Amino acid sequence: MSVTILGIESSCDDTSAAVIRDGFLLSNLISSQEVHRIYGGVVPELASRAHQANIIPVVDSAIKKAGIDISEINAVAFTRGPGLLGSLLVGVSFAKGFALSRNIPLVAVNHLQGHVLAHFVKDEINQNHPKFPFLCLLVSGGHTQLIIVRSHLDMEIVGQTIDDAAGEAFDKCAKVMGLPYPGGPVVDKLAQEGNPQAFSFARPNIKELDFSFSGLKTSFLYTLRDRMAEDPHFIDVRKADLCASLQHTIISILLSKVEMAARKYGIREVAIAGGVSANSGLRNALTELGQAKGWNVFIPQFRYTTDNAAMIAIVGYYRFLAGEFSPHDVTPLARFPLGAAEV
């Protein structure tokens, strides 16, 4: 018997629904909320309201696009957390109503596990996936973690940021340069025209496999402040060099820890995941490092880097196979560490 899973993602500002059959992608629709742009960041109350408006049309389109009948869905998987509570509530409530009305199981999913398992979504391009155990660098707007993945459902965090996430470092530095939100993709684009060696910023000296980005952020801010005092047009004139140097520093902080972890755990299968894994500089640098080290490197397709429901559906698929279902009084969790005891 084949297994068909409907996935729902609503942890932040993207409403997404996907259908997966036996691990193969049938549809993956994302409705991104433009309403936050003018505020320079996600406004939780507006995000929640937009999810309410979007969720039914997005799910409806995902089922139609998959070319299946609603009765063929065996379970509904949803993001339980971490994320914005008001946003999560919309997805959780919808999933419960859907499961109840169809009389099918509910499967709660950890969003972070979703980013990692996005590598296992099969489609016309993705034929290859990492072999266990592999090392995954998860870099998003809220998280920066090094994870040893032993099986689909067994993951251990071996390093993480002690302050800002990598995506936050991109976004906050972009904001002080007056770039639009989210800053990461804009910095990526501008960096392509700049010199990565033009400026040097503070690099953290953190032991073992943890990360820190707050010192870099402060150092970036002080550089701007000092140089603007000399020349009020400094940012405009040197924007590309600033972006290239910032991106270069973030990437070298990330990859030095990836290298350390791979050595420590004797792992040669290395993957990246999360929104920041869309960064072209990071993708190129990891590919080069992998070639030099003889690693098998796994870089997600762009559509699986930022938040999407295909990654939730694939976790749902493996949890379904393991018989890990959730009761109907399951609640969303704003904080939900990877590997936490789950209901």
Residues forming the site for ligand KG4 (CB under 6 A):
12, 140-142, 167, 170-171, 182-185, 188, 274-276, 278-279, 306-307
Distance CA 107, CA 12 (A): 19
Using the minimum distance from each CB to ligand KG4, give the nearer residue, 63 or 242. 242
Using the minimum distance from each CB to Zn ion, give the nearer residue, 14 or 188. 14
Q: Which of residues 278-317 bind Zn ion (CB under 5 A)?
A: 307
Residues near 236 by Cβ (< 8 Å), separated by ≥ 6?
A: none
8 A C-beta contact, residue 154 and residue 113: no
Number of Cβ within a 10 Å radius of residue 34: 9
Number of Cβ within a 10 Å radius of residue 155: 22
As measured in angstroms, the least distance from the Cβ of 181 to ligand KG4 is 8
Q: CB-based burial of residue 9 (10 Å sphere; 0-12 exposed, 13-18 middle, 19+ buried)? A: buried
**Cα angle value 131/288/193 (rounded, 5°):** 130
As measured in angstroms, the least distance from the Cβ of 266 to ligand KG4 is 29
Q: CB-based burial of residue 335 (10 Å sphere; 0-12 exposed, 13-18 middle, 19+ buried)? A: exposed
As measured in angstroms, the least distance from the Cβ of 188 to ligand KG4 is 4
As measured in angstroms, the least distance from the Cβ of 57 to Zn ion is 22
Using the minimum distance from each CB to ligand KG4, give the nearer residue, 75 or 109. 109
Q: Which of residues 130-169 bind Zn ion (CB under 5 A)?
A: 140
Using the minimum distance from each CB to Zn ion, give the nearer residue, 14 or 269. 14
As measured in angstroms, the least distance from the Cβ of 138 to ligand KG4 is 9
Using the minimum distance from each CB to Zn ion, give the nearer residue, 258 or 311. 311
Tell me: does residue 249 bind Zn ion (CB under 5 A): no
8 A C-beta contact, residue 179 and residue 172: no
The residues of the shown chain that bind Zn ion, judged by CB under 5 A, are 140, 307
